[in-house]
């Protein structure tokens, strides 16, 4: 594959997106087919790229000296790009149905499709400057999606989102400058680029910068105390909350932290320092905090958003173990959580779309009326809890295994946090399942007579996610082998 394809996969969604409001569509159906075609073609191109990897990198812009915006495929990039490319077409299909009863579809789909390109840009960035560039761009193209409904709540949420993201990016910027000044190069090289030996006096400064940059990128990954934008952003339409706020945007933050930790600062430099303990403590705290808030929350989507906060910190916890196995666990949870959470969000979306109900206590008896949706929701709940046989168990096992092998006592505490979080997950997910399937004895099904399962456009993505959860849960070895190769810097 030619490296020019790298440029194409980033640009195609942009062009496709801009065309959506420009073309005068005769009917909605053709527009939908066009959008789906653009997304699908792009996904196929991404997969072709990943399977026949170009060795060269592709420079888009050159600033001065060694500063450039460059794209390149390596192991870590292919995991994230592959994940995004697999989920986007399904989420788009789902959103055609979901957006039917919302206004302003065209700008929505424009930004939705453009985000695909930007996320791929983050995944395929070859150096820290390119990543920063796409990272800022991501904030800009996703803000219109949050503000979409134009209610007061949405505008406030978008404002919070902007402030947090831009503020985080500022910290990340500081980190970037230090990498540019102290690093041998700005490219991502497994093992890090810092030449610490040349600056013996600055170790503590660099560690401090690492923590700052971690927190900066951590804003997108909703690390406590910078998490409050995520539940608020739940006012966006469900396809946005499901795909962007459970996968694309938030995992860009996690992905950036992986790059920062393993490819820029380097784990050799960080492992065993106070910086590692600081960030690990933060992630452990967030794991428990997110779940506790989810238990407290009664709005369905916001509850899932809090659950995302907790699960993102699972990934970051894996990163902060700072061993190759830790990266394996982090990548495994990145993939598994993406599938599980998008699945549960889509179920929540289906409920909101079909019935307009969005609070947990309104879901009494829905299990009988929407058996498919709630069956799938139950499966995703079990997966999130980590029942063996589903994908959540695999990623939890990988994370815990990494923590045990690292011999780090704080990481043992992290395992305990994972399990406390698992029991809290059981509480906040199963109470929903309970209500849906076992309403109180005298429940009158007549009150929800109008409730029914959604159509195939929603059910097909949901069923595919179910298959995904089962396949990864039962036969994860190829995936884990791939991650191990990546985490040893061989791929």
Q: Cβ of residue 403: shortest distance to other proteins, in angstroms?
A: 8
Restricting to residues 10-29, name those near other proteins by CB under 8 A. none
Q: Cβ of residue 310: shortest distance to other proteins, in angstroms?
A: 15
Based on the shown chain and the rule CB under 8 A, indicate whether residue 351 belongs to the binding site for other proteins: no
Based on the shown chain and the rule CB under 8 A, indicate whether residue 401 belongs to the binding site for other proteins: yes
Run of H or E residues at 227: none
Alpha helices (H) along 99-124: 105-124
- Of 114, 169, 287, 400, the residue at the interface with other proteins (CB under 8 A) is 400
Based on the shown chain and the rule CB under 8 A, indicate whether residue 326 belongs to the binding site for other proteins: no
Q: Is the dihedral of CA 470, 473, 477, 478 positive or negative?
A: positive
Based on the shown chain and the rule CB under 8 A, indicate whether residue 389 belongs to the binding site for other proteins: yes
Based on the shown chain and the rule CB under 8 A, indicate whether residue 329 belongs to the binding site for other proteins: no
The owner of tokens 């179920």 is: 347
Q: Cβ of residue 459: shortest distance to other proteins, in angstroms?
A: 17
Q: Choose the stretch contacting other proteins; rule: CB under 8 A; options: 62-70, 99-107, 395-403, 445-453.
A: 395-403
Restricting to residues 419-448, name those near other proteins by CB under 8 A. 419-420, 422-423, 426-427, 430-431, 434, 438-441
Based on the shown chain and the rule CB under 8 A, indicate whether residue 416 belongs to the binding site for other proteins: yes
Based on the shown chain and the rule CB under 8 A, indicate whether residue 477 belongs to the binding site for other proteins: yes
Based on the shown chain and the rule CB under 8 A, indicate whether residue 387 belongs to the binding site for other proteins: yes
SS3 category, 74: coil
Q: Is the dihedral of CA 373, 379, 380, 381 positive or negative?
A: positive
| DSSP secondary structure of 146-202 | HHTT--HHHHHHHHHHHHHHHHHHHHHHHHHHHHHHHBS-SB--TT--B-GGG-GGG
- Using the minimum distance from each CB to other proteins, give the nearer residue, 274 or 438: 438
CA 7 vs CA 54, 57, 255: distances in Å: 12, 10, 20
- CB contact at 8 A, 197 and 268: no
- CB contact at 8 A, 365 and 436: yes
What is the C-alpha separation between 465 and 462, in angstroms, rounded?
A: 5
- Of 103, 388, 444, 460, the residue at the interface with other proteins (CB under 8 A) is 388
Q: Cβ of residue 405: shortest distance to other proteins, in angstroms?
A: 6
How far does the chain reach from its first CA to its final CA, in angstroms? 17
Q: Cβ of residue 321: shortest distance to other proteins, in angstroms?
A: 13
- Using the minimum distance from each CB to other proteins, give the nearer residue, 140 or 470: 470
- Using the minimum distance from each CB to other proteins, give the nearer residue, 186 or 307: 307
Using CB under 8 A as the binding criterion, the count of chain residues that bind other proteins stands at: 34
Q: Cβ of residue 401: shortest distance to other proteins, in angstroms?
A: 6
- Interface characters, 115-154, with other proteins (x: CB under 8 A): ----------------------------------------
- Of 58, 123, 194, 385, the residue at the interface with other proteins (CB under 8 A) is 385
- Of 367, 386, 392, 468, the residue at the interface with other proteins (CB under 8 A) is 386
> Which residues are CB-contacts of 483 (< 8 A; sequence separation ≥ 6)?
79, 327, 328, 331, 332
Based on the shown chain and the rule CB under 8 A, indicate whether residue 480 belongs to the binding site for other proteins: yes
- Using the minimum distance from each CB to other proteins, give the nearer residue, 211 or 426: 426
- Of 202, 273, 405, 463, the residue at the interface with other proteins (CB under 8 A) is 405
Q: Cβ of residue 404: shortest distance to other proteins, in angstroms?
A: 5
Restricting to residues 245-264, name those near other proteins by CB under 8 A. none
Neighbour-count burial for 380-419, b at 16+ CB within 10 Å, e otherwise: bbbbbbbeeebbbbbbbbbbbebbeebebeebeebbebbe
Based on the shown chain and the rule CB under 8 A, indicate whether residue 191 belongs to the binding site for other proteins: no
- CB contact at 8 A, 392 and 429: no
Q: Cβ of residue 422: shortest distance to other proteins, in angstroms?
A: 5
Q: Cβ of residue 223: shortest distance to other proteins, in angstroms?
A: 24
Based on the shown chain and the rule CB under 8 A, indicate whether residue 475 belongs to the binding site for other proteins: yes
- Using the minimum distance from each CB to other proteins, give the nearer residue, 95 or 283: 283
The owner of tokens 């946090």 is: 417
| DSSP secondary structure of 316-385 | HHHHHH-SHHHHHHHHHHHHHHHHHHHHHHHHHHHHHHHH---BGGG-TTHHHHSHHHHHHHHHHHHHHH
Read off the DSSP letter of residue 60: E
**Biggest CA-to-CA distance, the chain:** 75
Question: In which region does residue 22 sit, left (phi positive, over 0), alpha (psi from -120 to 50) or beta (all else)?
Answer: alpha
What is the C-alpha separation between 110 and 16, in angstroms, rounded?
A: 8
Q: Is the dihedral of CA 359, 360, 365, 368 positive or negative?
A: positive
Based on the shown chain and the rule CB under 8 A, indicate whether residue 31 belongs to the binding site for other proteins: no
- Using the minimum distance from each CB to other proteins, give the nearer residue, 119 or 421: 421
Restricting to residues 455-474, name those near other proteins by CB under 8 A. 474
CA 465, chain centre distance (Å): 15
What is the C-alpha separation between 363 and 381, in angstroms, rounded?
A: 16
Q: Choose the stretch contacting other proteins; rule: CB under 8 A; options: 78-86, 118-126, 347-355, 379-387.
A: 379-387
The residue ranges that bind other proteins (CB under 8 A) are 382, 385-389, 394, 397-398, 400-401, 403-405, 415-416, 419-420, 422-423, 426-427, 430-431, 434, 438-441, 474-477, 480
């Amino acid at each position: 594959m030619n490296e020019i394809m790298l440029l194409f996969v980033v640009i195609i969604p942009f062009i496709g997106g801009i065309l959506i409001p420009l073309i005068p569509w005769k009917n909605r159906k053709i527009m939908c087919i066009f959008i789906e075609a653009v997304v699908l073609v792009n996904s196929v191109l991404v997969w072709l790229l990943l399977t026949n990897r170009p060795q060269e990198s592709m420079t888009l812009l050159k600033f001065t000296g060694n500063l450039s915006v460059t794209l390149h495929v390596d192991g870590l990039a292919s995991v994230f790009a592959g994940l995004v490319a697999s989920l986007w077409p399904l989420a788009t299909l789902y959103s055609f149905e979901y957006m039917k009863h919302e206004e302003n579809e065209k700008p929505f789909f424009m930004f939705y499709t453009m985000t695909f390109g930007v996320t791929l840009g983050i995944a395929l960035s070859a150096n820290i400057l390119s990543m920063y560039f796409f990272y800022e761009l991501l904030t800009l193209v996703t803000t219109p999606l949050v503000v979409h409904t134009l209610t007061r709540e949405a505008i406030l949420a978008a404002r919070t989102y902007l402030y947090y993201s831009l503020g985080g990016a500022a910290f990340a910027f500081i980190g970037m400058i230090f990498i540019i000044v102290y690093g041998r190069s700005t490219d991502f090289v497994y093992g890090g680029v810092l030449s610490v030996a040349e600056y013996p006096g600055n170790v503590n400064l660099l560690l401090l910068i690492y923590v700052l940059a971690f927190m900066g990128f951590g804003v997108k990954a909703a690390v406590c105390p910078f998490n409050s934008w995520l539940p608020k952003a739940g006012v966006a339409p469900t396809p946005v909350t499901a795909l962007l706020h459970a996968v694309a945007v938030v995992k860009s933050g996690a992905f950036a932290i992986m790059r920062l930790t393993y490819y820029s600062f380097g784990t050799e430099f960080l492992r065993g320092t106070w910086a590692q303990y600081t960030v690990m403590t933060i992630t452990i705290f967030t794991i428990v905090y997110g779940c506790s808030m989810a238990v407290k929350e009664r709005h369905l989507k916001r509850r899932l958003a809090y659950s995302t906060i907790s699960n993102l910190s699972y990934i970051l916890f894996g990163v902060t173990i700072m061993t190759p196995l830790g990266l394996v666990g982090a990548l495994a949870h990145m993939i598994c959580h993406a599938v599980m959470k998008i699945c549960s969000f889509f179920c929540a979306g289906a409920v909101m779309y079909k019935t307009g109900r969005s609070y947990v206590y309104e879901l009494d008896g829905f299990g009988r009326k929407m058996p498919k949706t709630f069956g799938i929701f139950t499966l995703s709940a079990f997966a999130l809890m980590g029942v063996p046989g589903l994908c959540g168990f695999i990623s939890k096992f990988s994370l815990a295994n990494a923590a045990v092998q690292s011999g780090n006592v704080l990481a043992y505490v992290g395992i305990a946090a994972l399990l406390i979080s698992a029991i809290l997950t059981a509480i906040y997910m199963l109470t929903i399942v309970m209500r849906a399937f076992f309403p109180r004895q005298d429940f009158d099904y007549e009150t929800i007579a109008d409730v029914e399962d959604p159509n195939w456009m929603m059910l097909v993505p949901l069923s595919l996610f179910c298959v995904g959860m089962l396949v990864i849960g039962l036969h994860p070895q190829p995936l884990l082998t791939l991650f191990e190769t990546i985490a040893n810097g061989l791929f």
